[in-house]
Amino acid sequence: MKKQIKRLSPHQNGKVFGVLMAVATLPIFLPMILMMNLAGPSVGPDGNTVGFPTFVFFIFPLLYLIFGYISVVIGCFFYNILNRFIGGFEFLVEEVH
Write the pLDDT tens digit of every residue in 8-34. Answer: 999 999 999 999 999 999 888 888 888
Strands annotated E in the chain:
2-4, 42-43, 49-50, 90-92
14 in Cβ contact with 72 (< 8 Å): yes
Q: Taking Cα atoms as reference points, which of 12, 1, 26 lies closest to residue 80? A: 12
Whether the pLDDT of residue 3 is over 90: the answer is no
Note the Cα 71 to chain centre separation in Å: 9
Distance CA 57, CA 42 (A): 18
Q: What share of the chain has pLDDT > 90, as a percent? A: 45
What pLDDT sits at residue 80?
A: 95
Question: What pLDDT digit, counting tens, does each position of 25-59 carry?
Answer: 988 888 888 888 787 777 777 877 777 777 887 89
What pLDDT sits at residue 9?
A: 96
CA angle 95, 96, 97 (to 5 degrees): 120
Beta carbons within 10 angstroms of residue 83's beta carbon = 16
Rounded to an integer, the average pLDDT of 65-69 is 97
